[in-house]
Structure 1
Amino acid sequence: MQLHSGDVGFYWQFGPEKTAAALRIWRRDGRIMGVGLIDGPDLVRLAVAPEAQEDDALARQMAEDVTRPERGVLSADAANVEALWGGRFREALQEDGWVPDEPWIPMVRDLSEPVADGGLRIEVVGAERVEERVAVHRGAFKGSKFDAERWRAMAAGTPYANARCLVGYDDQGAAVAATTVWSAGPGRPGLVEPLGVHSNHHGRGYGKAIAVAAAAALRDMGASSATVCAEGANAAAVATYRAAGFQPRPEVRDLRRIG
């Protein structure tokens, strides 16, 4: 699991200028080797080129940059790095005193085979039904400020060209579950971010159904797999994704600065 184009796409709800300001890149010979998204006041989410995961020079440069506030990645008060892959960078940070934080469970569903219907009526929604999409999201994530204006900003972003918003409806036609799925291009892993069931409709299997629908949509878009990362402490989310055919991988942890 690394920073995905869909992570950047969901952040685009704050507008292109703020998204650009939140991005950091590391280059070598004109090629981008690492990407970071400053997601909130104290977290940077990272990815590196696959062939560079054991690159010592890159790892040490990135570790120094995220540790020293004057480099413009994290402030002096910021304390968290999401680098959910093995490799030299994590080792370099831990050598500098960073410690593992709360566990996350990467979960993957292979999409080489067709995905069966999940049993919930699913619609791909756009601007004409944005209020339903927003209502489910806010009902699923307490305290969320996601609204129609933010949805429109997200949908106008470059990454959304390869994304879809799905809403699930119960037998009475009520919008009960929703998700956004993000493709990184044919043959590449797709991302489910976010996915939620309205709090008024928990316990009826809608989470599994919308997760199955997310996998089916990504397969239609040519993705090789559907991926999601669940909090290790959220046993219900892990169980829901497992029921939808997502297989857990070994847990990974953010890194936290102490002192």
Structure 2
Amino acid sequence: MQSLSERVSARTGYRLVGDLAWNWCLSHDQPREHPTAVWTDGAGGEVLAWGWLELPDGLMLQVDPGHPALAGEVLAWAEGIAPGVLNVEVCQTETVLVDALVRRGYAPKDGPFMVCLGRSLATPPEKVELPPGYLLRGLDGPEDVERRAAVHRAAFGSTRVTGARHARMMRTWPYDPGFDLVVEAPDGEFAAYCQGWYDQVNRTGEFEPVGTHPDHRRRGLSRAVCVAVLHAFAAAGGERAVVYARGDDAYPVPKRLYESMGFTVRARTLTYTRPV
């Protein structure tokens, strides 16, 4: 699945290799809720399409634009497993998928959406000085995993990221500890973090995810750690960076943060729904 992402995401700006690693580590222990299927060329084993359900009603998919008929096959597979309402999020750049959804009677759905932002790494923003007592660093090893998971849970109000899941992510390609940076607070707890993924083939770095503990917000910590990861991408030979953020007015702060670092909107997501 990641091999297809390497080939396709450079054109679409969506579903990068890091996205798949991140989502897999959140769902690997729930195979019944997250069935997947892969289509190959049958000869060399090259992956041409994949589908990834998030039951009961969500579908992620990616299709090689050179094989547009496979989009219908992936949708038929998903419809056979989830026969009720099915919501499919795609990027507006994925015209093969949009066309397939419309042909099968799916309709666009109003509501929250994501924007795909990008920027060149030729000249990263200047590094940010942290408030007194805060320290920006990488993870020291297994002893940091639980604190790293805890700051994510606090930032997003979610229980999905556990120490075990983050530890698995650290063993999943293309994870690199040089792109997983944190800000340590004066009390030793983690106050903010930026998880970076680097696609060496396309020389593209991605943020997924970024968060700040509610007790440490409005101190410039997210900006500082994100800028540090941008510099790490550039030092690795990266040419561009991407990040997804909510694009609707209900949740504007992350988008404003990224735009303040030189990111600009390249595209947005669309959600199509198949009614019962």
- TM-score, structure 1 normalization: 0.83
1:230, CA displacement in angstroms? 1.1
Work out whether residues 106 and 273 of structure 2, in 8 Å CA contact, stay in contact via their aligned partners in 1. Answer: yes
1:169 aligns with 184
- Larger mean CA deviation between 192-201 and 15-24 belongs to 15-24
Distance 1:59 1:36 in 2: 9
- Aligned pair count reads 251
Work out whether residues 179 and 229 of structure 2, in 8 Å CA contact, stay in contact via their aligned partners in 1. Answer: no
Question: In structure 2, which of residues 138, 146, 165 is the aligned counterpart of residue 124 of structure 1?
Answer: 138
1:258, CA displacement in angstroms? 1.9
Distance 2:31 2:142 in 1: 21
- After superposition, the CA RMSD in angstroms is 2.7
CA gap of 1:216–1:255, structure 2 versus 1, over 3 A, is farther
1:90, CA displacement in angstroms? 0.9
2:120 aligns with 110
Describe how 1:75-224 pairs up with structure 2 within 5 A: 75-84=82-91, 85-101=93-109, 102=111, 103-120=113-130, 121-125=135-139, 126-161=141-176, 164-170=179-185, 174-224=189-239
Distance 1:36 1:228 in 2: 22
Distance 1:193 1:61 in 2: 29
1:242 aligns with 259
Distance 1:158 1:217 in 2: 17
Q: Which runs of 5+ in 2 are unaligned?
A: 1-12
CA gap of 1:172–1:245, structure 2 versus 1, over 3 A, is farther
1:164, CA displacement in angstroms? 3.3
- Larger mean CA deviation between 200-209 and 132-141 belongs to 200-209
- Larger mean CA deviation between 55-64 and 233-242 belongs to 55-64
Work out whether residues 27 and 33 of structure 1, in 8 Å CA contact, stay in contact via their aligned partners in 2. Answer: yes
Matched, 1:27 2:40: yes
Distance 2:24 2:97 in 1: 27
Distance 2:124 2:247 in 1: 28
- Larger mean CA deviation between 82-91 and 133-142 belongs to 82-91
Distance 1:57 1:12 in 2: 26
1:170, CA displacement in angstroms? 4.7
Distance 2:22 2:108 in 1: 26
1:14, CA displacement in angstroms? 4.8
1:134, CA displacement in angstroms? 1.7
Work out whether residues 12 and 157 of structure 1, in 8 Å CA contact, stay in contact via their aligned partners in 2. Answer: no
Q: Which amino acid aligns with 1:94?
A: V
- TM-score, structure 2 normalization: 0.78
Work out whether residues 124 and 227 of structure 2, in 8 Å CA contact, stay in contact via their aligned partners in 1. Answer: no
2:63 aligns with 48
